[in-house]
Amino acid sequence: MAPLPLANTETVQFFRAWLDTFASYVREVDYASARPLFHPDVLAFGTHNDVIPGLDQWVTTQWDNVWPKTTDFRFVLDQTSVLASPDGTMATVIAPWTSTGYHSDGSSFPRPGRATMVFAKTAGSWLCVHSHMSLNRGIPQASHASRSVKAW
């Protein structure tokens, strides 16, 4: 059996930087800055919906139910794997992440999870076309922080 199609160093570095950038937008609750990283017709899975068709619906049903209610979101870059098609047009990123959740009494709890993101390269630019982000088992689904949205 052939080995997994691991991405080259340059591609891995690109996606680690992409993850870092996206995580900063999550921490800032900046939907407007995060939107251009995704295809407008992205298909996503998340905590609040099974299949979310399109970026607008994803923002309103998932991002807006999570980003303002958590803090400290970061991908664990040294545990991230990147696979890439031999022709360089598709890539898959598998990454654990960490964040902080909040109980209704305001006390915090670790809120780790994992993500799989699929990217397509079009006109020399990578866009995420599928994302599946989920909490690790046993982590409370609800978080009760209430932060402002920086930009829609």
Range(s) of the domain holding residue 90: 9-25+37-102+110-135
pLDDT of residue 3 exceeding 80, the answer is yes
CATH number at residue 54: 3.10.450.50
pLDDT at site 47: 64
pLDDT digits (tens, 9 = 90+) for 16-72: 999 999 999 999 999 999 999 999 999 998 665 678 999 999 999 899 999 999 999
Q: How many domains is the chain built from?
A: 1
C-alpha separations of 91 from 17, 87, 117 in Å: 15, 10, 8
How many angstroms separate the CA atoms of 58 and 64, rounded?
9
> Is 147 among the domain residues?
no
> Is 129 among the domain residues?
yes
Average pLDDT, stretch 141-147?
Answer: 95
How many angstroms separate the CA atoms of 28 and 6, rounded?
31
How many angstroms separate the CA atoms of 115 and 46, rounded?
10
pLDDT of residue 122 exceeding 90, the answer is no
> Is 152 among the domain residues?
no
Place of tokens 């209430």: 146
The per-residue pLDDT of the chain, averaged, comes to: 95
> Is 151 among the domain residues?
no
How many angstroms separate the CA atoms of 137 and 46, rounded?
14
> Is 143 among the domain residues?
no
Return the SS3 of 20. helix
pLDDT at site 49: 63
How many angstroms separate the CA atoms of 110 and 113, rounded?
10
> Is 141 among the domain residues?
no
